[in-house]
Amino acid sequence: MISTLFTLYGTKGCHLCDEAEQILGQLQRVQAIKWQYIDIALSERLVENYGLIIPVLQHSSGQELRWPFSLLDVAAFNAQVMSLSEVER
């Protein structure tokens, strides 16, 4: 099974980012996804790009899903990027 790689952009003290992490953890239990968390506070560029809109979930292709999102939204986003990956092959 192919696994999908996502990056979750957020920062400490962001309760919405905590919720997004929980959603990804739930999805990871039922779908083959891998994800990493990047704290935007570690980069001025990331703060400029994402400071007002975190949490943001980005697929390795560059496609983004912005908050608010639910478990169903993330599952649909995963299915969408997976189907696009299949078409590109």
Measured between its terminal Cα atoms, the distance across the chain in Å is: 16
Q: What is the pLDDT of residue 89?
A: 56
Domains of the chain and CATH, by start: 4-88 (3.40.30.10)
Q: How many CB atoms neighbour CB 50 within 10 A?
A: 20
For residues 48 and 18, give the distance between their C-alpha atoms in angstroms, rounded to a whole number: 21
Q: Exposure of 40 by Cβ count < 10 A (0-12 exposed, 13-18 middle, 19+ buried)? A: buried
Largest CA distance in the chain: 40
- What is the per-residue pLDDT across 24-83, written as a single tens digit (0 to 9) for each? 999 999 998 999 999 999 999 999 999 999 999 999 999 999 999 999 999 999 999 988
How far apart CA 34 and CA 70 sit, in angstroms, is 17
Structural contact between residues 50 and 9, judged by C-beta atoms closer than 8 angstroms: yes
